[in-house]
Structure 1
Amino acid sequence: MIKELNFHSAQGTVEAPASKSYAHRALIALSLSRGKGVIRHVDLSMDIMATLKCLEDLGVDFFIREKDILIDATSFGQRRDRVLKPEESGSTLRFFIPITLLFDEVYEFRCKTGLLKRPISVYEELFHDLDIMMYKDSLESLVVKGKLESGDFRMRGDVSSQFISGMLMVLPLLDGDSTLTVTGDFQSQGYVNMTLQVMQDFGIVGHREGNTFFVAGNQKYTVRDYAVEGDYTQAAYFLAAGALAGDVSVTGLNLHSVQGDREIVDLLQKMGAAPEKIENGYRVKRHPLKALDIDISDIPDLAPILGVLLSLSEGTGRLLRGDRLRYKESDRIKSTVSLINSLGGDAREEGNTIVIQGKPELQGGRVNAQSDHRVVMATAIAALRCQGPVIIDGYEAVNKSYPEFFKDLEGIAR
């Protein structure tokens, strides 16, 4: 499906949608409590629905009331289906593999083809010396069997922090104490900090020394209601819209959040946009931007919108250490370069680095979103500084994380 955009300015206020990352974790934590509670302020993206359906197959009942999700996990573990369907959600797949290992039964993860093209090597390496079986039955099927026992675990940190978060969430439920040591380059630590915060909010105790996490066994998740905070990753698109094309305020944000993508505020400051703190958020006005080099190893989800910002900045900027971008919904190095060049910009790959020469304006044109929700949203923001119209081919991919994106954009764009 295609969508044509012909906006040239942005002015107004947008409330940030709920953090998808927090929502995944909170829904799982409440379900692991085996009690009843409410997770408030949840946006029902495709990824969140995938997590809810997997929880349902593991015995959890849920009821959706506007943006509140009522959870009844008193039957958690009384499985309804051994076939779980994470759809295209990498978080769902990587979080639920360790959860199924609480039960010592055979589970099949039936995925969309693209999901199993993304790496699961961290779990394969971890389970190799344990009595746990995991194998790909096809391009759409992953089979897991075994029971996770407490112990001392070592996991690579250079592929995805989701593997680490998945293990951390189940370790407190094991019979004995465990340690988890992250080896190599520990990337996206902000997401692991988010996991630890949610675990703590639900009554789990653990501590960290360097890159080793110590988690006592035989703990219980506490039953509670929980409100999900606003999402800095999604807010980044509208903060960028303000910097590029007008005067935009984004509300609903925790100014002290541990979300790694909160770095967008500091990056805009360094580029010259001068974000202004307001109540529960930030206001950004259009300002000439200066290019800079940005290490995106800890903020890979910001790569497409940062690429757009650099393409409309003075000078040459680089997105550095983007190796993990190769394994997102698209190869985000290639798709970000293609997005910029398709609109008349100047971007190129140099290994795992994206080099971008800024221009005062882009021309416009047609962009293939390559089934990547973040490419869709970044393209839409780039359209604000294009001389001609922009056509997005495959814009429906935005439903993966932010179904209301275009409604919110059209509320401020002129």
Structure 2
Amino acid sequence: MNYVKITPSKLKGKVTIPPSKSLSHRAIIAAGLSKGKSVVENVMFSEDILTTCNAMEALGVTIEKKEEENNIYTLIIDGSTELKLLKKEIDCSESGSSLRFFIPICLAEENDVVFTGRGKLVSRPLNQYYEIFDKQGIKYSNENGKLPLKVQGKIQSGEFTIDGDVSSQFITGLMFTLPLLQGDSKIIINKKLESKGYLDLTMDILNRFSVEVINKDYKEFLIKGNQQYKSMDYRVEGDFSQAAFWLVAGMIGGEIDCLDLNPDSKQGDKEVLDIIKRMNGALNITSDKIYAETTNTSSTVIDASQCPDIIPVLAVLAALSEGTTEVINAGRLRIKESDRLTAITTELNKLGADLEEKEDGLIIRGKKELTGGEVDSWNDHRIAMALAVASIRCKDEVTIKDSGCVKKSYPTFWEDFKKLGGNVHEWSVG
């Protein structure tokens, strides 16, 4: 078990934002489904991205990894169009994206496969796929609704009705797979579609790799069969969901230049910029960096439906802003790596904040500063990083239990925190 103890201090300096995890997943998969070699640059090997690489290699894709600098790699990916499994088990670790993307991909050909995982992933819902399996006669079994999941068969083209308010990952998984099938397909969205930004990322990557998805106002997606992915070279841009931690850190106590961000990005988490502006935060945005400095921010209403991953750190900003902020449409945060509504409420309140948990949101009453103390990450990378940012405006030290969970998405987070002037003592027990 890893711990960190943080002595509160302002952060100042430049930080290169890690490459987008969402885009890295998608580019690696699209390159792996292409005929020929693709070069994917600026990839950080977090646990989730390693999981996706391993899954592609299990399908016969060759990935050569060249380290350019500290944990940043260029990948030379020799794709495979046959998709016959070299091994029966796909270990998805704790990556929800990997699991939900690869279930249909592995069924683009007749395959017999077992999906395993650990942590909260074991119980994260897969009902959207089970309904497809039942309809198409694909054999499957699980452990009382939990992983491991055994699947045997081949997915067929046709019409697929997907609930839009559960996870866009199911839709992305189908978008990767359906172009490879013989017939044409249609994805019909039932209920309100959330996380549209992630589907924009998927469709952009598919388009770059020569696959077309016709978007009918996010209500239907038309996908012709017998399409072929074509290899290309691609550089992954910086991740707004990770930049959000440093942008908030700048707001509450620092001066931080966030480098390698695309202000024209299609990432849904770019919404952090609009939310900070609504809270009267001072941002200086240029073509290659975003500068955040300490500002007296104020309350707002935050709709979490399109940007659930940045809610934990925005809760920190709200906890240190004037007035009462309300987070709405956040029910899906309960089925992430932790129940993030309960986790962020419990732990920020331990630090002296004033959060009230609702069924699908939060009420956050702002304070000028927090007290400090001991908190738990709930083995959730975004909770750990949000608590680290909160320490900046605490009177006393902050100790975070299970701090090593940041390696799931941002393995160099603690290094970057220290480079910006953070006073961090790390240790391990057991």
| TM-score (norm: length of structure 1) | 0.98
Aligned to 1:164: 171
Q: When the two structures are aligned, how many residues end up with a matched partner?
A: 414
Greater mean alpha carbon deviation, residues 256-265 or residues 203-212: 203-212
Q: Counterparts of 1:75 and 1:355 in 2: how far apart (Å)? A: 50
- Match of residue 324 from structure 1: 332
Q: Is 1:358 equivalent to 2:366 in the alignment?
A: yes
- Give the match for residue 236 of structure 2: 228
2:92 aligns to what? 86
Answer yes or no: is the 8 Å Cα contact 2:84–2:109 preserved in 1. Answer: no
Q: Indicate the residue corresponding to 1:388 in structure 2.
A: 396
Shift of 1:76: 5.1
Q: CA deviation at 1:161?
A: 0.4
* Corresponding residue for residue 206 of structure 2: 199
Q: Which digits, 9 at most, give the CA deviation of each residue in 1:81-131, with x for residues without a partner? A: 010001000000000000111121210001114212111111112322112
Say whether the 8 Å CA contact 1:34–1:76 is kept in structure 2: no
Moved more, 107-116 or 92-101: 107-116
Deviations 1:32-64 (A, max 9, x none): 113212111000000000111111111112121
Contact 2:212 2:223 survives alignment (8 Å): yes
Contact 1:173/1:219, CA 8 A, preserved across alignment: yes
**1:215 partner amino acid:** I
The match for 1:374 is 382
Contact 1:137 1:143 in 2 (8 A): no
Does the Cα contact within 8 Å between 1:36 and 1:74 map onto a contact in 2?
A: no
Structure 1 runs (4+) greater than 6 angstroms displaced:
none
Contact 1:6 1:388 in 2 (8 A): yes
Q: Separation in 2 of the partners of 1:371 and 1:74? A: 35
Aligned-CA RMSD value: 1.2
Q: Is the 8 A contact 2:51 2:98 kept in 1?
A: yes
Residue of structure 2 aligned with 1:308, choices 301, 308, 316: 316
Taking the aligned partners of 1:270 and 1:90, their CA distance within structure 2 comes to 31
Offset at residue 176 of structure 1 (A): 1.3
TM-superposition CA deviations, 1:280-319 (whole Å, max 9, x none): 1211110101011111011110111011001000011111
Q: How far apart in 2 are the matches of 1:3 and 1:46?
A: 20
Contact 1:236/1:264 (8 A) holds in 2: yes
Partner of 2:64: 63
Corresponding position of 2:184: 177
C-alpha contact 1:173 1:220 (8 A) present in aligned 2: yes
Which residue of the partner structure matches residue 118 of structure 1? 124
- Residue 209 of structure 1 corresponds to which residue in structure 2? 216
CA distance in 2, matches of 1:99, 1:125: 17
Q: Distance in 2 between matches of 1:33 and 1:359?
A: 52
**Mean CA deviation greater in 109-118 or 27-36:** 109-118
Counterpart CA distance in 1 for 2:120 and 2:355 is 26
2: CA distance, partners of 1:182 / 1:237: 32
* C-alpha displacement of 1:74: 4.1
Q: Which has the higher contact order (CA 8 A, sep 6+)?
A: 2
Q: Is the 8 A contact 2:20 2:239 kept in 1?
A: yes
Q: 1:396 to 1:113 in 2, by over 3 A?
A: closer
CA distance in 1, matches of 2:257, 2:409: 21
CA contact (8 A) 1:60 1:76 kept: no
Residue of structure 2 in register with 1:408 after alignment = 416
Residue deviations 1:17-40, cap 9 Å, x none?
A: 000000000000001113212111
CA distance in 2: counterparts of 1:114 and 1:294, whole angstroms: 26
Report the residue type matching 2:341 in the other structure. I
Give the 3-state SS of the residue equivalent to 1:402 in structure 2: coil
Whole-angstrom CA distance in 1 between matches of 2:251 and 2:280: 9
How far apart in 2 are the matches of 1:235 and 1:149? 40
Aligned-pair CA distance for 1:267: 0.7
Q: Which secondary structure does the structure 2 equivalent of 1:109 belong to?
A: strand
Provide the rounded CA distance (Å) in 1 between the counterparts of 2:318 and 2:132. 39
Determine if the alignment matches structure 1 residue 348 to structure 2 residue 349. Answer: no
Q: Is the 1:16–1:230 Cα contact (8 Å) retained in structure 2?
A: yes
Contact 2:18-2:44 at 8 Å conserved across structures = yes
**Letter of the structure 1 residue corresponding to residue 155 of structure 2:** L
Alignment correspondent of 2:427: none
Identity over aligned pairs, percent: 38
Structure-2 residue corresponding to 1:7: 8
Please tell me whether the aligned partners of residues 175 and 213 of structure 2 are also in contact (alpha carbons under 8 angstroms).
Answer: no
TM-score, normalised with respect to structure 2:
0.94
